[in-house]
Amino acid sequence: MDIKRYFKVLKRIFSNTIKADTSFRANFFLNVLQGVIQLVVLIVFFDAIYGNRQIGSWSFNDSLLLIATNQFINAVYNFLFTGVGSIPDYVESGKLDTVLLKPVSPRFLISIANLNIDAVLTAILALPVFVYVLSTGTIKVTLINTLLYLLFIFIGVAIKYFFAFSLMSLSLWIVKAYALHSIFGEFFNLTVYPESIYKGIVRILFSLIVPIMIIANLPAMVFMGNFNSTYIVYSLVAVGLFWSLSNIAWRQGLKHYTSASS
């Protein structure tokens, strides 16, 4: 693989995005407003559920940490991979043909096609929440913790990407599949729920089949102090699993794909 070429493509996409984004600045204010409302609603929702009590080992404070962590992961994911959501559009319009002809990996090109600068907002808005949790002194921050936290955020983004990519690849089979967007959206709204609600078989289901339990919970648990080293092995297994799943879905899907229009 020619790494240099990929960097060149990435650089070009980045500069294009900046140009496109700065010409539609009117959206910026609405995006800020939307982000703030979303965050406030989420906090009110959890406040209503917790009402001064605990859910398993999670206090309301821990839940705020989970909300912030989830936002960080969403920010990175949305910044890089908004393109994944438009796979159905590529298929439906037949645009996928042009992508397949390009001299870079079509998968890479589709995933990174639209960088979303506004996604950074998601992380910025979550910062005050994160700082608030830090100020309450309920979490332990050390150098090792911080490094582990960042590692698990990275793993969370990877798992989310691989899973989303597999899901969206389904559109190679079912052509008119706008609803995949909403399934995808609804699923990833659930990553902000604390892991202690899942017990028994449901726990396995939501970590190794539909990974909503592990994406944001693991990094948050690093700071909460109830973390053990087996999670590292476990999450690496999950990354491998979802990586192969996305490969299989994409390759089999392409075999199945019969160009739409044209």
Partner 1 sequence: MKKYIALMKLQMKEVMEFRANWYLSILAEVLPLPILLLLWMTAFKESGSRSGYNTSTIITYYIISRMISAWIPSVWYEIVLALRTGGLDTFLLKPVSYLGYWSCRQFTTNVFYSVENAIIAVVLSIFFSRYFYIQTDGYYLILMLISLILSFVLAYLIDFVLSMTAFWLENSSGIKSIYFLIMTFLSGQIVPLNVLPDFIQRVTSELPFYYINFFPVQIYLGKVTYYDALLGILTEALWILSFYLIYKAEWKLGLKTYKSMGG
Catalog residues that contact partner 1 under the rule CB under 8 A. 26-27, 30-31, 33-34, 37-38, 41, 44-45, 48-51, 53-56, 174, 176-180, 182-183, 185-187, 189-190, 193-194, 196-198, 202, 206, 212
Pick between residue 152 and residue 206 the one whose CB is nearest to partner 1: 206
Pick between residue 202 and residue 204 the one whose CB is nearest to partner 1: 202
Nearest distance from C-beta of residue 228 to partner 1, angstroms: 22
Pick between residue 82 and residue 247 the one whose CB is nearest to partner 1: 82
Contact 46, 197 (CB under 8 A): no
Nearest distance from C-beta of residue 63 to partner 1, angstroms: 11
CA distances from 112 to 10, 101, 115 (A): 8, 17, 6
Nearest distance from C-beta of residue 28 to partner 1, angstroms: 10
* Calpha distance 246→166 (Å, rounded): 4
Nearest distance from C-beta of residue 5 to partner 1, angstroms: 36
Structure tokens of 137? Answer: 């002194």
* Calpha distance 253→106 (Å, rounded): 13
Pick between residue 131 and residue 175 the one whose CB is nearest to partner 1: 175
Pick between residue 147 and residue 197 the one whose CB is nearest to partner 1: 197
For CA atoms 110, 113, 116, 119, the dihedral sign is positive
Nearest distance from C-beta of residue 141 to partner 1, angstroms: 28
Sequence-ordered list of residues with C-beta below 8 angstroms from that of 114, at least 6 positions apart, any chain: 17, 82, 83, 86
Nearest distance from C-beta of residue 65 to partner 1, angstroms: 17
Rounded-to-10 torsion of CA 203, 197, 223, 121: 100
Nearest distance from C-beta of residue 9 to partner 1, angstroms: 30
Pick between residue 56 and residue 128 the one whose CB is nearest to partner 1: 56
φ/ψ of residue 55, rounded to 5: -115, 105
Pick between residue 109 and residue 207 the one whose CB is nearest to partner 1: 207
